[in-house]
């Protein structure tokens, strides 16, 4: 089970990270359509304007082989979906899953990507996956910087110079323990 996390940005905006639901598909389509052309190319490795309904349904589904997370913020007309992350179990590598992540431009550089990626790593560990991997376009400097800050190894593709393969070995989540401080 994926736990819900809530936090508040320094500017006071409340955010919630949770498991994606089937009814998130229209909001996900809106987020994707709101991405710049370059952002859509970085996320989907090609030029797209939007996604077919079947693909959207797949992207918000979680089952034994895949899990999907979203970050939402309350808006005047309901929740606004601002980030999505997912991973799918590898068919060829045991205990590994391929991941993908997108954060809407206005919400970058405030820790959303970092937070959702760590939540995805914890959820993947809970599913028994011990490694996350993916491919990042070599010109996607923001994602490569996020991969570095989250401890992913990076290796250029030997045949396709426009790709960088990223991999993280997962570790058990460390429980947060508040220790009492005693003055002497």
Could you write out the DSSP letters of every residue in 30-96? HHHHHS-HHHHHHHHSS--S---HHHHHHHT--SSSEEEEEEEEEETTEEEEEEEEEEEE-SSSTTE
3-state SS class at 108: coil
65 within domain boundaries = yes
177 within domain boundaries = no
Instruction: Name the β-bridge partners of 155.
Output: 165
How do residues 122-151 score in pLDDT, each as one tens digit? 999 999 999 999 999 999 999 999 999 999
181 within domain boundaries = no
**Which is nearest to 45 in space by CA: 116, 143, 122, 171?**
143
Looking at residue 2, what is its pLDDT? 73
174 within domain boundaries = no
Looking at residue 11, what is its pLDDT? 87
Looking at residue 173, what is its pLDDT? 79
Report the chain's mean pLDDT, rounded to a whole number.
90
Looking at residue 172, what is its pLDDT? 87
For the domain that residue 135 is a member of, what is the CATH number? 3.40.630.30
Percent of the chain with pLDDT over 70: 93
47 within domain boundaries = yes
16 within domain boundaries = yes
Percent of the chain with pLDDT over 90: 72
For the cut 60, the answer to whether the pLDDT of residue 155 exceeds it is: yes
Mean pLDDT of 66-73: 96
Mean pLDDT of 7-33: 93
20 within domain boundaries = yes
Structure confidence at residue 181 as a pLDDT band (50, 70, 90): low
**Which is nearest to 123 in space by CA: 70, 56, 177?**
70
How do residues 27-65 score in pLDDT, each as one tens digit? 999 999 999 999 999 999 988 888 888 898 888 988 889
Looking at residue 184, what is its pLDDT? 52
3-state SS of 127-176 is: CCCCEEEEEEECCCHHHHHHHHHCCCEEEECCCCCCEEEEEEECCCCCCC
DSSP 8-state code for residue 111: T
pTM score, whole prediction: 0.88
Give the count of domains, the chain. 1
User: Domain range spanning residue 35?
Assistant: 5-169
């Amino acid at each position: 089970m994926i736990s819900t996390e809530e936090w508040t940005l320094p500017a006071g905006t409340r955010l919630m990270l949770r498991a994606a639901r089937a009814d998130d598909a229209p909001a996900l389509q809106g987020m994707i359509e709101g991405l710049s052309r370059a952002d859509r190319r970085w996320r989907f490795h090609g030029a797209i304007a939007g996604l077919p309904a079947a693909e959207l349904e797949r992207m918000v589904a979680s089952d034994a082989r895949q899990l999907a997370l979203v970050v939402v913020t309350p808006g005047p007309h309901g929740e606004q979906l601002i980030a999505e992350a997912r991973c799918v179990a590898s068919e060829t590598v045991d205990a590994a899953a391929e991941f993908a992540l997108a954060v809407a431009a206005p919400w970058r550089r405030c820790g959303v990507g970092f937070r959702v990626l760590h939540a995805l790593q914890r959820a993947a560990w809970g599913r028994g996956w011990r490694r996350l991997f993916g491919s990042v376009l070599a010109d996607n400097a923001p994602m490569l910087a996020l991969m570095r800050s989250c401890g992913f190894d990076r290796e250029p593709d030997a045949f396709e110079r426009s790709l960088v393969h990223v991999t993280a070995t997962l570790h058990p989540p460390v429980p947060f323990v508040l220790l009492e401080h005693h003055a002497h």
